[in-house]
Amino acid sequence: MNILRSLFVVLLAAWMVCAPAQAALERGPVGELCTSQVETAPFVCDDTITVDGAKRLYIEFVFEVTTATLQLQQKLAGGTNFTDVGAAVTANAIQSVEDPAGTYRINATACTTCTITVNYHAVYRR
């Protein structure tokens, strides 16, 4: 788990350093969408994040003791339903969303004794 977190930080730093041709960037909010959530059936994490105006949104999926399928979902402003974004995740992974908009959440579509943490980091233009 520490290796994945270190990789997450290194990739984020490398992306911010290697993108000087783009408008200046600044760190945005960092937090957790699921905090060591322990479940025994499919569920939706309670937390959401709204990142309108961000350049990129990074999502880090950390599976501890689990068999689960996690899906990042998005709801646009004024929308009523969440829709899937990107591929479903079944192991430790990092996903990114270019020019994210709206509200994001995590949906666990399959779960048998899940223990997961999902972190996020948004990057904004200055």
**Sign of torsion, CA 40 45 46 47?**
positive
Q: What is the pTM of this model?
A: 0.76
Q: From first to last of the 126 residues of the chain, give the pLDDT tens digit.
A: 566 666 666 666 666 665 555 557 677 778 888 876 677 778 888 889 988 888 999 999 998 866 788 999 999 988 889 999 999 999 999 999 999 999 999 998 888 777 888 999 999 877
CATH fold label, 2-125 = Jelly Rolls (2.60.120)
Domain-by-domain residue ranges, the chain?
2-125
- Kindly tell me the burial class for residue 77, based on how many C-beta atoms sit within 10 Å of its own C-beta (0-12, 13-18, 19 or more): exposed
